[in-house]
Amino acid sequence: MVHSQRILDTGWTLSCARPVGAPNLPQSIPAKVPGTVHTDLLAARLIPNPYLDLNEIAVDWVGRCDWRYELAFDWHDQSAGTVELVCPGLDTFAQLVLNGAIIGETANMNREYRFDLGGLLRDGANTLSILFESAWTRGEALAKQYEPRPNNYPGPANLMRKMACNFGWDWGPTLVTAGIWKPMRIESWSRARIAQLRPEVTLQGAAGKVRIHAEIDGQGEGMSLRASVAGVTATQPIGQGALDLTVPSPQLWWPHGLGSQPLYTLDVELLDESGAVTDSWSRQIGFRSLRLDTSADDVGTAFNFIINDVPVYICGANWIPDDCFLPRVTPERYAARILQAKQANINMLRVWGGGIYETDAFYEACDKAGMLVWQDFLFACAAYPEEGDLPAEIEAEARDNIVRLMPYPSLVLWNGNNENIWGWFDWGWQDVLEGRTWGKGYYLDLLPRLVAELDPTRPYWAGSPYSGTMDIHPNDPAHGCSHVWDVWNDVGYEHYADSVPRFCSEFGWQAPPTWATLTQSVHDQPMTPTSPGVWHHQKATIGNDKLLRGLSGHLPTPTNMDDWHYATQLNQARAIRFGIEHWRSHRGLNMGAIVWQLNDCWPVTSWSAVDGYGRLKPLWYALRAAYHPHLLTIQPRGEELHLFAVNERTLFWRGPVTVKRLRFDGTVLAEWTHWRLCADRLDVASLAIPSHVATPGNPREELLVATMHDSVAHHWFAEDVELDLPEARADLSITRDDADWLVTVTAHSLLKDLCLFVDRIHPEASVDDMLVTLLPGETRTLRVQCAVELNAAMLCQTPVFRCANQLR
């Protein structure tokens, strides 16, 4: 019999099995699968939207109840050999009952379970029931089983295999979910099936190599495996080892910006003795070489991704779950968010260890977009026991996901954990643990062994941050990958310039979401930075205090809500751009920056560039500029100012460069042209700016402007609080261009960091550029998408029209 399957996605009901603190509820309600308890209750209008105002607190009871999903279905295929219930995503502690008989239990939302239904299925009507125990309840039992382990956040996430940020984070709400979050199915097969298939895809010279390792369930003797890719086919009897295919001169898969992303369909079939196909497997793969250079040098230890023998500078962003309710993140939403990353010149997303292994749709979209993926194993900011049932669950989870994700060419790193090795060194864990386990065995033994066994083509790194050895501090900037959080937490963003990490895999700065998102989710009257709803949507400890402290020395202290919103968003954008440009000017020593974070899971004040409703904050535009493949930036080197041309293209970048020192009224005070600045491909070039240009007469009213082709760099001799910025004066004109509006801004004074916040006019309006600096007489045309009629009077009014000149 050919392998067949039936998706169980309709006809489910949901009921409360243990109503802890619950209001009166109907006996049952319709359930959507895949889905969550929260989203079903929302659809039934039994709870308020937890993303609005303070409703998160009002729905806390949902996570403390037990819940039952039930499905009545008919079954008539009694000729099937083996019949299994396949559960790729049950969240988290579940007991499954078919027709009154327990068929199995689960304790891990991150792995697939299979349950044999043999002898339990009836011809005709059947009932499947899944009882989900509250993770809070199970957490109480686990806390009694395990001695205390440090955890940076409330909740028992480190004692179980559930998405850690479900229990709240410094950007996320506490919404403890339960439910069937991935599609369930019944699979039927006879004799044998492909249980596991691992394709190792490599390059050998110009040839592409595919080595296929297959595990077969059942009686595979006498059967064969047939594989084909790119017109090459090979067949081999089961039991004779790996099946190899050689593809002559395939097109290479590249990160975007360096080449194209050709994908080849790899088809694998299980054949019986007659040649009939009894099971099959198909994925798209890409051919590329990969290594992580961690060699020692005169400074310390490198951390450099080499793709197709090319050292790639990583312009990255950290990725968190895009919604607290995971099934709401559709393939279309993944593709849209990854496109936003790509358009910001981001070439790597780090899937952070406090979330999930994303669904296949995420990695498929990354493959197509040329977006590199750094994948954390799911450990974050806590000590994890290495006793009891946890190690077996962790191994099963790791095996499952390594095998599932290894076909994707975008995946370039397996990382052991987020900040746990750092925590053991610096966060007082050693005294608290008193010799108890904390996860070291996972990061330094189990996980590297599993990667070496299952996916030897990819590098493994034990943690982020990690120096490469327990003999060197994990956050030593001279070694491996580092996190830079003292800047946001303790000092001003100018301190990004204090060091040059070999690779910075986390750093960030906070700001509120867009105005449209803020007002869509918070309805305080009046709305202030500390009004109840705004305050509730700020999850970081003393986060608002840090926002204001971060303005000190840079921007004036805001005195109203509109100024607070703009100033903090502007400061976030400037802080991150400052750090990235500093590090990129040291290209070679530093080979990557991964900002915290690209996205949000709900509407919140956070470190994101794209807010919880998918809208772009000013930071997104700053990232697009700071990560541009042709970056022109002015940076200090000792007592001098230098101009740096950073080139991430595969062709050299050369041309005349002009640096002018100007007064804010546009008067040229000094000028210098170098007629042939040349930055080699994937390299950086620099020039010292002559002192007569680089030295201001009056730093309060002068700036430097450097131009090279279409690239422009500005350098200010003082912070805004010390600048004599003029009153902002400009004219705006508007014309139609098909469905868009073209807004031409003509500056009559210096305009510093001009933004048009068109979402103040219509919540779905957007603009193609922000943070634009114009000199007197210069113009810039901005493209606006807006569903309502626009006019200049709308656009020129504060708070739609904003620039730094207005902050006083």
| Residues belonging to the chain | 808
What is the 3-state secondary structure of 765-799? Answer: CEECCCCEEECCCCEEEEEEECCCCCCHHHHCCCC
Cβ atoms of 548 and 507 closer than 8 Å: no
Q: Which of 557, 558, 514, 563 is nearest to 537 (CA)?
A: 514
**Token pair of 90, please?**
């049950």
Query: How many other β-carbons are positioned within 10 Å of the β-carbon of residue 560?
Result: 10
**H helices of 586-667, where?**
618-626
Measured in degrees and rounded to the nearest 5, phi and psi for residue 302 equal -70, 165
Cα end-to-end span (Å), the chain:
77
- Contact by Cβ (8 Å): 92, 46: no
Strands (E), 56-206: 66-75, 82-87, 90-91, 93-98, 101-107, 113-116, 124-133, 179-180, 185-189, 192-204
Please count the other Cβ atoms lying within 10 Å of the Cβ belonging to residue 683.
17
Question: Could you say which of 56, 84, 358, 419 is catalytic?
Answer: 419
Strand partners, 802: 755
Contact in structure between 450 and 459 (CB atoms under 8 Å): no
CA 707 – CA 644 distance, rounded (Å): 11
Distances (CA, A) of 766 to 332, 649, 734: 19, 29, 15
User: Six-digit token pair at 230?
Assistant: 């790119």
CA dist., res. 122 & res. 754, Å (int): 69
Residue type present at position 257: G
Strand ranges of the sheet holding 772-774, from the earlier edge strand across to the other edge: 772-774, 751-756, 801-802
* Nearest-angstrom CA–CA distance, 631 and 108: 45
Establish whether 140 is a catalytic residue: no
Torsion angle of C-alpha atoms 455, 460, 464, 465, degrees rounded to 10:
180
Residues with catalytic roles: 419
